[in-house]
Amino acid sequence: MTSRGKTVYRCTDCGAEHPKWAGRCEACGEWNTLAEEMATPKAPSGRGAAKHSRIGVAGAPRSTAARAPRLGDVKGADEPRWLSGLDEFDFVLGGGIVPGSMVLVGGEPGIGKSTLLLQVAARLQNAGHAALYISGEESPLQVKLRASRLEEPSNDVALLSETSLETILATADAMRPDVVLVDSIQTVYTSDLEGAPGNVGQVRECAARLMRFAKDTGVAVFVVGHVTKGGGIAGPKTLEHIVDTVLYFEGEGSLDHRVLRATKNRFGSVDEIGVFRMTQSGLAAVGNPSALFLGDRHEAASGSAVAALLEGTRPVLVEIQALAAKAGFGTPQRVATGFDGRRLALLLAVLDKRAGLSFGALDVFVNVAGGLRVMEPAGDLAVAAALASSTHDRALPPNSVFLGEVGLGGEIRPISQAERRIAEAARMGFTTVFLSDRSIPQRNGSRSIRIAASRTLDELFGALFP
């Protein structure tokens, strides 16, 4: 036997405990769900324990009473946050880094997670917040090479190339920096567990201990987590439950912009996005995402419409492109990039039935320019308008934005927060907004924009393509 403490294997599905690893959980029958974890020491049992605690249940551990302070007496609620100065990063976190918090940064390999964290480390260090960057994936030389490409000087960032959790925690405890950045959680392991680094048990245990370290010391901890093929962060959902904040870094490999998105945030709102461009000298914050996503738009072309989406609290204009072309053999194709395929099928059916546009013999392609994803129903009307424009082979009116959800009856439905989206459209120089006659804003903040309301798709397209 080794000096390890006792470990057990727990089913991540039903929670049943097993003394040995097995491929299948005997309790619930699920396959591949057992993960190693530290055995919790058994409570002292028997009469001896019960005798001392007058109100204890027999066999339960004796507990000492804790002091419960008044909520008003809890300190630190208005503690200032640390700003990295990488604006989009601070914005997505909800206004800077909260001391003692733990943030998970997930994303596909090669997207730029290491670059982002190294830049954050450098900026924090230069702003007077000591940073310790721990790489389990790259040698100090590799990190140095990356750092030398960056705009921000990073000479003062402390660097540790290490994968042992015990060493990492001991070093961090001795140095007590303000921020510890661990790249990545999948390479870190604790010798208390037998499993290899990266397996569920290891990832969970290491994350939990880093979290405890953050809470005990007030050091902010960032960890990189790789994303599995399924899109989840390896070491399942449990990892997302442990940490305070989960950020996903995403983008199309071929495009140079990247979107940082908060999917969980105990200290700010979720679904906020920050937009970056990957340049020769690292990531640069993009302060005006709408300009970026509308960048190469060719307005006079048919099949192009602009939607105003809400990404978190921030409205962003995106171009939707549609192409309806004569199909060859067999079943016509329906291809949607950045838009839900089933939603597209629904819109095509509605356009067919309610607006008299037939797509039966046409291949249909819909693309959200810039690699953004349209998740909101508010994007429906722009998709429908782009499709109609493509089938008529006529461009939509210049400088117009389409806002609306499309119902099964072909009706254009109101959307949330129309004012904010319209304001962004006006700011970007658009002059007409097409929307539902039920979402005409009470106060039209910008006089420069014309509101064109319609009740149904049929009515709208009748006017646009007489």
Of 82, 154, 77, the C-alpha closest to 121 is 154
End-to-end CA distance of the chain: 84
Residue whose CB is less far from Mg ion, 183 or 411: 183
Max Cα-Cα span within the chain: 91
Residue whose CB is less far from Mg ion, 114 or 186: 114
Q: Is 111 in the site for ligand TYD (CB under 6 A)?
A: yes
What is the size of the binding site for ligand TYD (CB under 6 A)? 14
Pair 319, 370: CB distance under 8 Å: yes
Q: Which of 45, 281, 288, 333 binds ligand TYD (CB under 6 A)?
A: 281
Stated length of the chain: 466
Q: Which of 7, 12, 114, 367 binds Mg ion (CB under 5 A)?
A: 114
The minimum distance between CB 226 and Mg ion, in angstroms, equals 8
Residue 179: beta bridge partners? 131, 220
Q: Is 107 in the site for ligand TYD (CB under 6 A)?
A: yes
Residue 452: beta bridge partners? 434
- Contacting range for ligand TYD; rule: CB under 6 A; set: 110-118, 187-195, 230-238, 394-402: 110-118
Structure tokens of 190?
């604790």
- Contacting range for Mg ion; rule: CB under 5 A; set: 27-35, 113-121, 174-182, 252-260: 113-121
Q: Which of 113, 123, 129, 204 binds ligand TYD (CB under 6 A)?
A: 113
- In eight-state DSSP terms, residue 294 is T
Residue whose CB is less far from ligand TYD, 111 or 317: 111
Q: Which of 144, 149, 212, 450 binds ligand TYD (CB under 6 A)?
A: 149
Q: Give the relative orientation of helices 457-464 and 380-392 as an angle to the nearest 10 degrees.
A: 40
Q: Binding partner of residue 251 among Mg ion, ligand TYD, none, CB under 5 to 8 Å per kind?
A: none
The minimum distance between CB 150 and ligand TYD, in angstroms, equals 6
| DSSP string covering 52-119 | H-TTPPTTSPP-PPPP---GGG---TTPPPBP-S-HHHHHHTTSSBPTT-EEEEEE-TTSSHHHHHHH
Tell me if the bond preceding 184 is cis, omega within 30° of 0.
Answer: yes
The SS3 assignment for 153 reads coil
Q: Is 186 in the site for Mg ion (CB under 5 A)?
A: no
Q: Which of 136, 274, 282, 289 binds ligand TYD (CB under 6 A)?
A: 282
Residue whose CB is less far from ligand TYD, 63 or 254: 254
The minimum distance between CB 337 and ligand TYD, in angstroms, equals 22
Residue whose CB is less far from ligand TYD, 120 or 305: 120
Q: Is 212 in the site for ligand TYD (CB under 6 A)?
A: no
Q: Is the dihedral of CA 453, 456, 459, 462 positive or negative?
A: positive
For residues 96 and 120, give the distance between their C-alpha atoms in angstroms, rounded to a whole number.
11
The minimum distance between CB 91 and Mg ion, in angstroms, equals 23
Q: Binding partner of residue 367 among Mg ion, ligand TYD, none, CB under 5 to 8 Å per kind?
A: none
Structure tokens of 246?
């989960």
Task: Give residue 97's identity as a one-letter amino acid code.
Answer: I
The minimum distance between CB 205 and ligand TYD, in angstroms, equals 23
Q: Binding partner of residue 278 among ligand TYD, Mg ion, none, CB under 5 to 8 Å per kind?
A: ligand TYD
Pair 19, 9: CB distance under 8 Å: yes
Residues contributing to the site for ligand TYD (CB under 6 A): 107, 109-115, 146, 149, 278, 280-282
Residues making contact with Mg ion (CB under 5 A): 114
